[in-house]
Amino acid sequence: MIRDSNAAVVDEPVLQGFPQTRPNDEFNRNLVGNVHPTEWKNPTPDARYNLVVIGAGTAGLVTAVGAAGLGAKVALVERSMMGGDCLNVGCVPSKGMISAARVAAAVKNAGRFGVNVPDDVRVDFTKVMERMRRLRAHISHNDSAARFRDLGVDVYFGQARFDDSSTVDVDGTKLKFKRAVIATGARAAAPPIPGLESVDYLTNETVFSLTELPQRLGIVGAGPIGCELAQTFAQLGSEVLLVESEHGVLPREDRQAAAIVQQAMLHDGVKLLCCGRKLEIKSGGGIRLTVESHSKRYDEPIDQLLIAVGRAPNVEGLNLDAVNVEYNEKGVTVNDHMQTTNARIYAAGDICSPYQFTHAADFMARIVIQNTLFKGRKKSSDLTIPWSTYTSPEIAHVGLYEHEAIEQGIELDTYVQHFSDVDRAILEGDDEGFVKVHTKQGSDQILGATIVARNAGDMISEITLAMTHGLGLAKIGNSIHPYPTQAEAIRKLGDQYSRTRLTPFVKAAFHKWLAWTR
């Protein structure tokens, strides 16, 4: 069971097996009433469905509603809560907390702007979490069983398993299909840490059920989830110890960008124990975290432990072997058309993709709709997928990293615009970041980009749009951007590229032309 910072037991879940529904308040009751209503009656099956979709996370929801909107007969099966990770234990609750933490940080740092606030300003963590649950419940209507029923989807709650290549069984009810889609997603999975099994630890599936702020919070894993929540809890008032086995934070990101985020996290009070070795968890009189970091041994008492590393695909119970669908520890195997090793069964989202993002699942689902209903040949490799980590500042990326280009033998030109030379960023006190764009050597074709900025997740879309439609850096430079904005940094990169066109030969010819026209 989950315990708060005073080791008091938090309310039992509304529905057994749904830890994300703690505490039992009106907001979680509204959430459950939308995404797994207790009074729900599964419909009488159609003779044969065009699509049976297993899993009602983003990939499953988009597939089901998109296909039904085109006139297909669709069944959607969910064993837990509609909305998947994003709504219930991912994007929505985390950003609800992050928004509150950013306000707290802004108040704390208000003095830099000449705004004096009382010294006794405090964060009411209970109210922060209540706000998050209220907004999550409000948003949950979009993913509700009733809404999808009204949009023409037959919604079934229960455990799905394949009987054969044309039948899915849902707790004894047989659903016949022409095509099926596996969209069951993935879940948190803890690594083998000595002593971990002896304590009650948190994952992203349970951390949002806390109702009291842990005074000391230990987090294992400095990837996106670990960094976002480490900074958030620190800004809200926890003492946070963040353990990472590699050097620094966000090891997959551009190292210069990650270094800026790391400094911001340290400024907010996160204690980073990187290059962590010999990690062990001890129980008895509370939780103790022991680890060796940079040749120093730490033995730290903590009130709560969050494991923010490791994912496992949700393949259990599907009976995939019976229908010759290959899978492994990373998920279901698909080809470039999102088709599994059974030609009648497709997959989309976290269950089959290395890009475990809501927006990636959305666009994979669109490919599945086209390829299943219209015999299309759309390819997932054609997708240009950006992503963002919502720390403060944010890191956003799209396309190739520099090290990937080197590994692939692709020669690059790299352009960097620091926000220390962007007026709006200076005025807002956000001048620590940059925009970095990689182009194919000798051209303005954009191959990748990284942005570290307050709203990097919003800003990356301009570069993603350019890459998707083959617009080069020069065209961005020729597009008027409002002044003053932080997005002007992207336009300035276009100017940088244009200046490289002024070679010594071009300059000499231009000077001759000017002399001739005088």
Annotated binding site for FAD: 95, 350
**Do 360 and 351 meet the contact criterion of CB atoms below 8 Å apart?**
no
Which DSSP helix (H) or strand (E) runs through 242? strand 239-243
Q: How many CA atoms lie within 13 A of 341 on its CB side?
A: 12
H helices within 109-216, ranges in order?
125-139, 145-150
Q: Is 332 helix (H, G, I), strand (E, B) or coil?
A: strand
Largest distance between two CA atoms of the chain: 90
Tokens standing for residue 152:
């023409």
Sign of the alpha-carbon torsion through 499, 501, 504, 505: negative
User: Which residues, other chains included, contact 504 with Cβ-Cβ below 8 Å and sequence gap of 6+?
Assistant: none
E strand segments, 62-127: 74-78
Which residues are documented as binding site?
A: 95, 221-228, 244, 310, 350
φ, ψ for residue 178 (rounded to 5)?
-90, -45
Task: For residue 389, give the nearest of 265, 275, 261, 268 by alpha carbon.
Answer: 261
User: Which residues, other chains included, contact 41 with Cβ-Cβ below 8 Å and sequence gap of 6+?
Assistant: none
φ, ψ for residue 190 (rounded to 5)?
-80, 140
Give how far Cα 332 sits from Cα of 86, 169, 313, 315, 349, Å. 20, 19, 8, 8, 10
Report DSSP state, residue 41: -
Q: Is 292 helix (H, G, I), strand (E, B) or coil?
A: strand
User: Which residues, other chains included, contact 176 with Cβ-Cβ below 8 Å and sequence gap of 6+?
Assistant: 45, 46, 47, 48, 49, 166, 167
Q: Is 252 helix (H, G, I), strand (E, B) or coil?
A: coil
**Do 226 and 219 meet the contact criterion of CB atoms below 8 Å apart?**
yes
Which DSSP helix (H) or strand (E) runs through 186? strand 186-188
Pairing of strands 74-78, 49-54: parallel
Q: Is 163 helix (H, G, I), strand (E, B) or coil?
A: strand
Report DSSP state, residue 240: E
d(CA 175, CA 64) in angstroms, rounded, equals: 15
Tokens standing for residue 264:
């911001």
d(CA 362, CA 375) in angstroms, rounded, equals: 19
The secondary structure of 345-392 as a DSSP string is EEE-GGGT-S---HHHHHHHHHHHHHHHHS-----GGG----EEE-SS
Which residues are documented as binding site for NAD(+)?
A: 221-228, 244, 310
d(CA 67, CA 81) in angstroms, rounded, equals: 21
**Do 16 and 202 meet the contact criterion of CB atoms below 8 Å apart?**
no
Pairing of strands 311-313, 271-273: unpaired
